[in-house]
Amino acid sequence: MFERVSSIDGTFYLCCSMYVGRRCALAPKSLWTSRGHRNIMVKKKGKSKRITLKDKYKIQRRVVETHRKNRKQAKRDAKAGIVRHDKKKDPGIPNSWPFKQELLQSI
C-alpha cells in the first residue's frame, strides 16, 4: 500500500504505491524532480556569496578609512588627556552560582 521514498538528505517519506513514479502529495510540488521511476526531493540552494569587485573594494576602502579615523581620534584623545575605558567583559558566571558576588569582587 505505502512505499518508502528516500530523499537526497537521507530522510524517508511514505508514498502510496500508486503515486510512486508520479508526484507525491506529501511534499510541495516545487521541491520534487523526477529521476528514473521515483520522485526525489531536491535541496534548495542557498544564496550565493559572490560579490562584485566594485563592492568588494568599496567595503575594503571603508574599513581602512574607519580604522584610520579611529586611530586619529585615539591620538587626539591621548593628547588631550581623555582616557577611554572599554566595557569590562562579562566573566560568564551564571546567576545561580553560589557566592557569585564574592567571586566577582575577587576578580
Extract the C-alpha cell encoding 17.
504505491
> Which H or E run includes 15?
strand 12-16
64 in any annotated domain:
yes
Note the pLDDT tens digit of each residue in 33-42: 555 555 667 8
Note the pLDDT tens digit of each residue in 50-97: 999 999 999 999 999 999 999 999 999 999 998 887 777 777 878 888
From the number of C-beta atoms within 10 Å of its C-beta (0-12, 13-18, 19+), residue 19 rates as middle
Q: Which domain holds residue 56?
A: 50-78
3-state secondary structure of 83: coil
Q: What is the pTM of this model?
A: 0.41
43 in any annotated domain:
no
91 in any annotated domain:
no
From the centroid of its chain, how far is CA 92? 23
